[in-house]
Structure 1
Amino acid sequence: MTNFIPIFPLGIVVFPGEDLNLHIFEPRYKQLVTECYAEKKPFGIPTVLKSGLAEIGTLVEITEIAEVYEDGKLDIKTRGLKVFRILEVVKSIPDKLYSGAIVNYLDNDDKRHVIKMRNLVKSIRELHATLKLDKDFKKPDDQLLSYDLAHHAALSLEEEHELLGLMREDQRLEYLKRHIKKILPLVNEMEQLKERIKLNGHFKDLSSNFNL
């Protein structure tokens, strides 16, 4: 399916099912949000990378306009719907301040893989414990999908965008598993290094088993 959508490029990755709060202050995006909310139309958030505007993004719907300020700025709540690929950017739209794009939507296999997910959740919790973080996934473990964990896995923006472009749940789980497997030893080493630095210059309670 191909259609035209308004776009709001941002330097973030939004995943399907994700709830995202946005503060809107630019005139073009105030117009975009006001029109989309009134007409109950979604808009697209393509990711802005260092290399420029990415062709992959996420269609989002406005679930609530939380606040309208006296100067016209807006706080809105949105939710990610599905992944799209940009076929053509339409920079100029008659009577509009914002841009748009002709897109198609990517078929997404989100079949659950219980054992893979269970192992991944265990690894991510181990990462968080090492970093002394307490993160809430906001769902029971048996209801989680890869998208629910992506922002909790210490991915870079580019890595999150790569993940967004994977259209099978088993591929996304494998991607996250390999990432955690790669960074967890590094994080452990850094935490050990921090502890050694903390000990330097302090009195130490040490014993020796070496006999002279």
Structure 2
Amino acid sequence: MILPFFPLKLVVFPGEELNLHIFEPRYKELIKDVEVGGLTFGICTYTDQLTGYGTEVMLGDIHTRYDDGRMDIRTTGRRVFKITTFDNPAAGKEYAAGTIELLEDDPVVPDYAHHEYVFYLREMLHLLQYDVSFDPAEVDSFSFSHKIGLKLEEELELIKIPSEAARTEFLIKHLKRIIPALQAAEEAKEKIKQNGHFKHLDPLDF
């Protein structure tokens, strides 16, 4: 499978809606080709170098077209891929393109693991004061993974995991590690707030 490539310093999760502002000439050309040809394109994750992995995305619509050719577009992540060839630029184009291999994915996750993940996810979102309601049955390992403190490298590691069960375990371990640190930080903030205030303390009986 051949895709036009759009390297960015981010990870796009399958199912994620991503808005982009297009201003570079090569990517104006890319989006024009995608629109005219009804194509998908690949957002390749870039850290300090091209990682070799990315996500196929579908163009939803062009929200705004500017007089100078810039665009605001809406896209949706589809499938994770590994890059097998990378041509920069592609023949006759200003942008890069190449061949990809779609990663296999097993969507099955045990109920107990999913319930445990949702439990820790709710706690994490509460600590972050991220007020959102969701149906646990509709949540998967990608739904809130931009919100729970993963580093870019960890998000990349997540999309490379080929099963929902293994991704869920990866996230549970992450949440078990980070939630106590956030709780400790909240307790420290409360103590700092109390400094300088009059305190009502019960006398000790000894």
TM-score by length of structure 2 reads 0.95
Q: Which residue of 3, 7, 14 maps to 2:12?
A: 14
Partner of 1:103: 100
- Taking the aligned partners of 1:208 and 1:130, their CA distance within structure 2 comes to 33
The aligned residue for residue 148 of structure 1 is 143
Structure 1 distance, partners of 2:126, 2:97, is 43
Q: Is the 8 A contact 1:124 1:152 kept in 2?
A: no
Find out whether 1:178 has 2:176 as its counterpart.
no
Residue 163, structure 1, aligned to residue 137, structure 2: no
Gaps of 5+ in 2: none
For 1:209, the equivalent position in structure 2 comes to: 204
User: 1:189: which partner in 2?
Assistant: 184
Q: How far off is 1:120 after superposition?
A: 0.9
Conserved 8 A contact 2:90-2:98: no
Task: Report the Cα offset of residue 200 of structure 1.
Answer: 1.1
Question: Is the CA contact 1:114–1:142 (under 8 Å) kept in the aligned structure 2?
Answer: no
> 3-state DSSP class of the match of 1:57?
strand
1:1-212 map, 5 Å? 3-50=1-48, 52-137=49-134, 140-211=135-206
Could you report, residue by residue, the CA deviation over 1:75-106 in whole angstroms, capped at 9, with x for unpaired residues?
Answer: 11111111110112101223311011221111
Secondary structure of 2:144's counterpart equals helix
What is the Cα-based RMSD across aligned positions, in Å? 1.4
> Following the alignment from structure 1 to structure 2, what is the Cα–Cα distance between the partners of residues 200 and 123?
31
What residue identity is the alignment partner of 2:151? Answer: S
Question: Does structure 2 conserve the Cα–Cα contact (< 8 Å) formed by 1:25 and 1:72?
Answer: yes
Aligned residue pairs, count: 206
| Distance in structure 2 (CA, Å) of the matches to 1:77 and 1:112 | 30
Aligned-partner SS, 1:180: helix
1:135 to 1:37, Cα distance in 2 relative to 1, 3 A: same
Deviation at 1:136, TM superposition (A): 4.8
Q: Secondary structure at the match of 1:152?
A: coil
Q: Supply the AA of the counterpart residue of 1:105.
A: L
State the alpha-carbon separation in 2 of the partners of residues 198 and 116 from structure 1: 38
Write the deviation string for residues 162-192 of structure 1: whole angstroms up to 9, x where unpaired.
0010010000000000000001111111111
Q: CA deviation at 1:125?
A: 1.1
- Give the drift of 1:112: 4.2
In structure 1, runs of 5+ residues without a counterpart are: none
Supply the distance in 1 between the matched residues of 2:45 and 2:184 (Cα, whole angstroms): 32
Amino acid paired to 1:10: L
